[in-house]
Chain A
Amino acid sequence: MIQIRGATKRFGPRLAVDALTLDVPRGQIFGLLGHNGAGKSTTIGMLLGQVFADAGTLTINGYDVYAERARALERVGAIFETPGFYDYLSGATNLRIFCQYTGRVEEARFREVVRLVGLEERIHDKVAYYSHGMRQRLALAQALLPHPELLILDEPSEGLDPEGIHEIRHLILRLNREWGLTILFSSHLLSEVEQLCSHLAVLREGRLLFCGQWRQFERNRRWIRVRVTEGQAQAETGLREAGLVAEFTTDGHGRLAEGGEVPAVADWLVRNGYRIETLAPIERALEDFYLETIHVRRSIAQ
């Protein structure tokens, strides 16, 4: 659906995106992760043709976003962290104004989308009286009205209360499962990305550190938690030297080496006189994966 090849963008002396190459497959919820200034918003800006890339190509549905802008964005809806609206106009008028840049919207579709985002009661109120959550839902409605195949969501949950975050999450899942939309989702909220995205890209200082199915990646990298009553540091060194554990993190989490098994670790610890306090396989959360990826500072792209 989205193909980015060697996209580079520089703002003055700062390299915002560095030769980014990325594919977003059709039908996926694809997460874009990274710190502030990692290049997520610039990447989204380039995809929407709002930011001009210094080098590289970006295509949506096979159309170049700069040379064939109208065709590339024909079936794309986008929302931003702080969506701008004409506060002095009603929600309905705002929707009509934005949608007339894409094409005519049938009344039935209008009602369906407004109902979907839960704004039917307030759609004729002025946007000035909307809460932040309602503005986000209105933004989602304007993105959905022109029958998109691709939704680009830049920090859609930013500033929402827990209930709002929950609502948006479920809406996104529904749009993906029931409407079959491909969703490019950029967020700081790791828990949201974890619950929504199967595929993700991790950016740091404009460079791509990881791209792929992070759960699959983690499944191939089995982790255990090892705690011994005495000599934790020596036990970790010993396990590494014995080739059973590839690496240890500071909190006693170890990644099993290729061919390494939990019983073999237990056996080694007992044979070497350690008293085991804890030994269990663990499933790592996205946060662990993300922080490791960010701090390792090397590309582990699949």
Chain B
Amino acid sequence: MFVAQLRNELLKLFARKRTYIGFGAFLFVQVAILLLLQLPKAKRAFQQLLESNGYGFEEYYSGLTLGLLIILFTVGMLGALYLALVSGDVVAKEVEEGTMRMILSRPVSRLRVLTVKFLACAIYSFVLLAFIGMTSLLAGVIYRGGLGKLFVYAPHEQLFALFDTREGLWRFVRGVGFMGISLQVVSTLAFMFSCFQMKPAAATILSLSVLFVDLVLRNIPYFAGFQQWFITYHTACWVRTFNDIVPWWSIVQSLIYLGALNLTFLVVGAMSFCSRDFKA
């Protein structure tokens, strides 16, 4: 029955119009970013960066490079918002609409209900991020007429790397996979708030507030020495997979940190959900 219940949870998520509006919104933003990247100023800065380091602009201004740039901007702008929106809804919305009481009148444990919901949420997050990865790459490839070579530049991570097509594509796919794992923490955070006695919108806003405060504090010079304490430092670990020599230990440390956070958020959410009263 577990599989059937999980399938139903996914059905509930994917049958909603809003789900596709979200996917549509991402497509729209991707196209908008692609257009913005064509502005002479943006193109010139890019060209200057490559040519001042002795590389050809045409060679590296490719489908792969544009695809990765689109992902960076799209996920930065909308990714956390949308993950928090969906995960913040998943329990709180059902409580608000009365369907949770219908479920809890069944001979099923609260922990089972929560586990199924969390898994559905995690699958949804991966599907969404995979969708963003694929469509970003597709947009870049269509615009440039092929994959080309990959150029990655991330000053925050002190990253400047170039790859040929084969290695670039592999790095791209692997990077998107790690992004899916690391951004799971956003879903889990919103899921935890969703388990508390609050409106769905409050769960989303609270999650985004936590991430926003984390990001702002992280960028204050005073906290430069405390980078490893911030969630957003670790969620960016996927970018490090594009280093020439991948700092695996640093990435594993980030994933352990995020895993511990995920577990904590889940336990706290489950404790709240399993001990609260459900009443009309």
* A contact residues vs B (CB 8 Å cutoff): 11, 41-42, 45, 48-52, 69-74, 76-78, 80-86, 88-89, 93, 96-98, 100-104, 139, 142, 146, 152
- What are 13 A-B residue pairs whose CB atoms fall within 8 Å in the complex? A50-B101, A50-B105, A51-B277, A51-B279, A69-B107, A82-B280, A84-B97, A84-B98, A85-B102, A100-B4, A100-B8, A101-B1, A101-B113
A73 to chain B, nearest CB (A): 4
CA distance A103 to B107 in the complex (A): 9
B3 to chain A, nearest CB (A): 10
A83 to chain B, nearest CB (A): 6
In the complex, residue of chain B having the shortest beta-carbon distance to the beta carbon of A89: B15
A103 touches B1 (CB 8 A): yes
B104 touches A97 (CB 8 A): no
- Tell whether A101 pairs with B103 under 8 Å between CB atoms, given A70-B108, A88-B16: yes
A79 to chain B, nearest CB (A): 8
B103 touches A98 (CB 8 A): yes
* B contact residues vs A (CB 8 Å cutoff): 1, 4-5, 8, 11-12, 15-17, 94, 97-109, 113, 275, 277-280
- Tell whether A73 pairs with B105 under 8 Å between CB atoms, given A84-B100, A86-B12, A101-B5: yes
Selected from A50, A74, A82, A142, the residue in CB contact (under 8 A) with B278 is A50
Selected from B11, B97, B99, B106, the residue in CB contact (under 8 A) with A73 is B106
B20 to chain A, nearest CB (A): 12
Given A50-B277, A100-B8, 15 more pairs with CB closer than 8 A: A41-B279, A45-B277, A51-B277, A51-B278, A52-B277, A69-B109, A71-B107, A84-B94, A86-B99, A97-B8, A100-B1, A101-B103, A101-B107, A101-B113, A104-B1
CA distance A80 to B15 in the complex (A): 25
Contacts of A72 in B (CB 8 A): 107
Judged by DSSP, the binding face of A is: loop
B106 touches A101 (CB 8 A): yes
B105 touches A78 (CB 8 A): yes
In the complex, residue of chain A having the shortest beta-carbon distance to the beta carbon of B106: A101
Contacts of A70 in B (CB 8 A): 107-109
B15 touches A88 (CB 8 A): yes
In the complex, residue of chain B having the shortest beta-carbon distance to the beta carbon of A81: B280
Contacts of A98 in B (CB 8 A): 102-103, 106
Most A C-beta atoms less than 10 A away, residue of B8, B105, B106, B107 = B105
A273 to chain B, nearest CB (A): 59
Most B C-beta atoms less than 10 A away, residue of A41, A48, A104 = A48
Contacts of B109 in A (CB 8 A): 69-70
